[in-house]
Amino acid sequence: MSSLWNNRISISIFGESHGPAIGVVIDNLPPGEYIDIQELSRFMARRAPKKDGTTTPRSEKDLPQIMSGMFNDKTTGTPLCAFIQNTDTRSKDYSNISQLVRPGHADYTGALRYRGFNDIRGGGHFSGRLTAPLVFAGAVCAQILERRGIYTGAHISEIHGIADDEFNRVNVNKEDILSVRYKKFPVINDEQGEKMVDDIHKAAEGGESLGGIIECAAVNVPAGIGSPMFDGIENTLAQLIFGIPAVKGLEFGAGFLTAKMVGSQSNDDFYVDEYGHVKTKTNNHGGILGGISSGMPITLKVAIKPTPSISKPQNTIDAKNMKNDILKVHGRHDPCIVPRAVPCVEAAVNIGLLSHMLDYPNF
């Protein structure tokens, strides 16, 4: 499978949702980097299911076992390998999908690609469960970046039309990012967050699911990082972010709104501030020009589709007998995966930024 990303840093993710374990191998990390295991676990816990009815009741401890690449809590420079055990699986819930294709899932396309040999339990390698090792890798990269003053943070921008406040694209800072990072429900405006939670509960009661949008920002990224054409920061981040299951859209800065602007509205005027730093008065470019960082905050938004597993009956096919059928999905599923996807987006951005920062002089 193409679960290997290689761009200065390499990330190889392995395992299946209902296999004995999942994990990741990270290569080419800088040696001698101290990794706070407690802080790493705290970052990963943000992706774990919650007990508020907004996520799946499947409960995994997600305690990574680091097998190599660290000694005395510091990276050695050799491949860092981490295992995460699967302990709360219920494979019987998937006994009927060996024949019935689940709408919105990769059952049909996966069976075609791998000639029917793919593991279907819990979605197998296509499952959102595989974001746990991605988050581990991103949490490691986050600590290396933050030691250099670079912080990445995300929040729920919208769920089912209910919108949170937005980061200020020009002035978002470290404090803005940290203020939302460890909230129980990751929004800026808690009142709007309560409305989102209520809407998620209503959807679950009706056998439905919800999607939404995640906004992410990275601050203090120095200007001049990245490359044009095929190795730009946008290219790198897009590859990693689209590795998160359920991502259906991505925009940087003002994104699709720029299509409605004229040039004088879209362009960001440059100026030199009182400290002699080059900045822009607006940040429609999202901190990236020509694939290269401008020194302004890097901002992006990610669209997450509704969880495809819903309890409502759906039209599908019996792939074994090649006839039409009706499917009712069983099992434990998130009525909305957006809250748990927030640290996944942060993780992907951390990996991509660190890969480019390795080219930065004296990093």
**Mind listing the pLDDT tens digit for each residue in 88-132?**
655 555 555 568 888 888 888 887 888 888 877 777 777 888 899
Q: What percentage of residues in the chain have a pLDDT greater than 90?
A: 72
Greater model confidence, 53 or 15: 15
| pLDDT band, residue 87 (cuts 50/70/90) | confident
* DSSP string for residues in 271-338: EE-TTS-EEESS-TTTTEETTEE-SSPEEEEEEEPPPS--SS-EEEEETTTTEEEEE---S---SB-H
CA distance 118 to 211: 27
| pLDDT band, residue 350 (cuts 50/70/90) | very high
Give the per-residue pLDDT at 94: 55
User: Is the pLDDT score of 1 beyond 60?
Assistant: no
| pLDDT band, residue 143 (cuts 50/70/90) | very high
| Across 345-353, average pLDDT | 98
60 touches 87 (CB < 8 A): yes
CA distance 315 to 330: 15
pLDDT in tens, 59-86: 567 789 999 999 999 999 999 999 998 8
203 touches 160 (CB < 8 A): yes
pTM score of the predicted model = 0.92
What is residue 63's three-state secondary structure?
coil
- Tokens 């921008």 — which residue? 157
User: Is the pLDDT score of 242 beyond 60?
Assistant: yes
Q: Of the ranges 8-17, 98-107, 294-303, which one carries the lowest mean pLDDT score? A: 98-107
User: Is the pLDDT score of 321 beyond 90?
Assistant: no
Q: What's the mean pLDDT when you consider all of the chain? A: 91
| pLDDT band, residue 52 (cuts 50/70/90) | low
Give the per-residue pLDDT at 56: 60
Give the per-residue pLDDT at 90: 59
Give the per-residue pLDDT at 100: 84
CATH architecture of 90-357: 4-Layer Sandwich (3.60)
Q: Of the ranges 211-225, 278-292, 325-339, which one carries the lowest mean pLDDT score? A: 325-339
Greater model confidence, 24 or 362: 24
